[in-house]
Amino acid sequence: MHNSEEFKIPFGPQHPALKEPESFSVALKGEKIMGVDIRLGYNHRGIEKAAEERTYIQDIYLIERVCGICSHAHATCFIQAVEEIANLVVPKRALYIRTLIAELERVHSHLLWLGVAGHEIGFDTLLMYSWRDREVVMDILALLTGNRVNYGMNTIGGVRRDIDPEQIQQTLKAVDILEERTKYYIEVATQETTIIKRLSGVGVVSYDDALRLDAVGPTARASGVKRDIRADDPYAAYAEISFDVITDDHCDVYGRTVVRVKELMESYKIIRQVLKNLPEGPIAVRAPRMIPAGEALSRYEAPRGEDVHYVKANGTDKPERVKIRAPTLANIQAVKHMLKDRYLADMPIVIAAIDPCFSCTDRLVSLSHIDSRDKKTITWPELHQFSIEWHKQQGIDFTQLNKQLEERLKKC
Amino acid sequence: MNKEESIKEDLLKKFSYLDGTFNIVRARRISITVGLENFNEVFVYIAKQMHFGHLCTITGLDEGERLGFIYHLADESGCVINLKTSVSKDNPVIKTVTGYFPGAEIYERELVDLFGAKVEGLSEGNRYPLTDDWPLEQFPLRKDWKGRENA
User: What number is the ipTM of this complex?
Assistant: 0.97
User: Is the Cβ of B128 closer than 8 Å to some Cβ of chain A?
Assistant: yes
User: Is the Cβ of B140 closer than 8 Å to some Cβ of chain A?
Assistant: yes
Question: Which chain A residues touch B100 with a CB distance below 8 Å?
Answer: none
Q: What is the DSSP string of B52-86?
A: --EEEEEEEEE-SSEEEEEEEEE-TTS-EEEEEEE
Q: How confident is the model at residue A380 (pLDDT cuts 50, 70, 90)?
A: low
Q: Tell me the average pLDDT across A370-392.
A: 70
Handedness of CA A374, A379, A380, A381 (dihedral sign): negative
pLDDT digits (tens, 9 = 90+) for B114-144: 999 999 999 998 888 888 899 888 999 999 9
> Inter-chain contact A321–B61, Cβ cutoff 8 Å?
yes
Q: Quick one: angle between helices A124-145 and A165-191, nearest 10? A: 160
Confidence at residue A43, expressed as pLDDT on a 0 to 100 scale: 73
Q: Is residue B126 part of a domain?
A: yes
- For B72, the closest chain A residue by CA position comes to A297
Q: Is residue B144 part of a domain?
A: no
Confidence at residue A21, expressed as pLDDT on a 0 to 100 scale: 59
Q: Tell me the average pLDDT across B68-77.
A: 97
Confidence at residue A365, expressed as pLDDT on a 0 to 100 scale: 43
Provide the domain limits for residue B81: 3-138
Residues whose CB is less than 8 angstroms from the CB of residue B18 and which lie 6 or more positions away in sequence, other chains included: B11, B12, B32, B34, B42
User: Is the Cβ of A209 closer than 8 Å to some Cβ of chain B?
Assistant: no
Interface of B with A in 106-125 (CB under 8 A): 106-107, 114, 125
Q: Is residue B149 part of a domain?
A: no
Give the total number of structural domains in chain B: 1
What's the CATH class of domain A45-332?
mainly alpha
Q: Is residue B12 part of a domain?
A: yes
> Inter-chain contact B57–A308, Cβ cutoff 8 Å?
yes
Q: Which string of b and e fits A236-272 if b means at least 16 CB within 10 Å? A: bbbeebebeebbbebbbbbbbbbbbbbbbbbbbbbbb
Q: How confident is the model at residue A11 (pLDDT cuts 50, 70, 90)?
A: low
Question: Which chain B residues touch A308 with a CB distance below 8 Å?
Answer: 56-57, 72
pLDDT digits (tens, 9 = 90+) for A328-350: 888 888 988 998 888 888 887 88
Portion of chain A with pLDDT greater than 90, in percent: 64
Q: B16: distance to nearest CA of chain A, Å?
A: 25
Residue A139 has pLDDT above 70, yes or no: yes
Q: In this structure, what CATH number is given to the domain that contains residue B81?
A: 3.30.460.80
Residue A377 has pLDDT above 70, yes or no: no
CA angle A323, A61, A143 (to 5 degrees): 130
Question: How many interchain CB pairs under 8 A, A with B?
Answer: 88
> Inter-chain contact A234–B78, Cβ cutoff 8 Å?
yes
* Contact (CB, 8 A) for B53 and B47: yes
Q: Is residue B147 part of a domain?
A: no
Residue A196 corresponds to which amino acid?
Answer: I
pTM: 0.90
Q: Is residue B64 part of a domain?
A: yes
